[in-house]
Amino acid sequence: MEIAVFYYGFVSWRKTKLQNNEFSYHKNSGTIPILIALIPIIAIETYVLNILLSKWSITAAWLVSALSIYSGFQIFGFLKSMFKRSFSIEKNTIHLRYGILSEARIDINNIKSIEISSKPIEFNDTVRKLSPLGELESHNIVIHVKKENTIIGLYGIKRKFKTLAFYIDNKEEFKEALDKKNSVTE
């Protein structure tokens, strides 16, 4: 994961062009402004904490500063990865990649229903959001699956779901493409 953060944050600068089977989720989402706002907040917090802690211990001040700077790099890498890793519909699989923060693969034959909805839903052990930011990010697509599926989050943490909610920029086009694929596989 650390290598991916470094790669997306500092190596991969080319703009990626979406293919016909790919869909963005970052253009109208609230996640990007949240992550962008966190970076200067971390910078200010680092400066203030360094000054305060240096009165007590120079070593502690520099240790906390290093951790804060590292956190800023992490958030920057997460932010950049969201621009590079889009959702895609392959042959019989949907790949939902939320940057390097989380991802899920759903077999199209496993889809029970797809709904365009931003209505509040109650989250529990089988109803999840793709975004690790949870309630801070809205959703506009809800997919219900027949058999339990898995979201792989940061550091490989796995969570099961039967209903997955997420935000996508062009929800109608995404649903239409899935409906078309689903009718072909039935």
- Summarised one tens digit per residue, pLDDT across range 147-156 is 999 999 888 8
Are residues 95 and 57 part of one domain? no
In degrees to the nearest 10, what's the CA dihedral of 127, 131, 132, 134?
A: -60
- Summarised one tens digit per residue, pLDDT across range 83-135 is 888 899 988 899 999 988 899 999 999 999 999 988 988 888 899 998 888 78
Q: What is the DSSP string of 3-28?
A: HHHHIIIII--SPPPP-TTEE--SSS
In degrees to the nearest 10, what's the CA dihedral of 26, 104, 107, 89?
A: 30
Give domain status of residue 62, yes or no: yes
What pLDDT, on a 0 to 100 scale, did the predictor assign at position 181? 73
- Residue-number span of the structural domain to which 145 is assigned: 87-185
Give domain status of residue 15, yes or no: no
What pLDDT, on a 0 to 100 scale, did the predictor assign at position 85? 84
* Rg, C-alpha atoms of the chain: 19
Last residue of a domain, one of 48, 64, 84: 84
- On whether the CB atoms of residues 42 and 72 are closer than 8 A, the answer is yes
Are residues 99 and 80 part of one domain? no
- 163 forms beta bridges with 127, 144
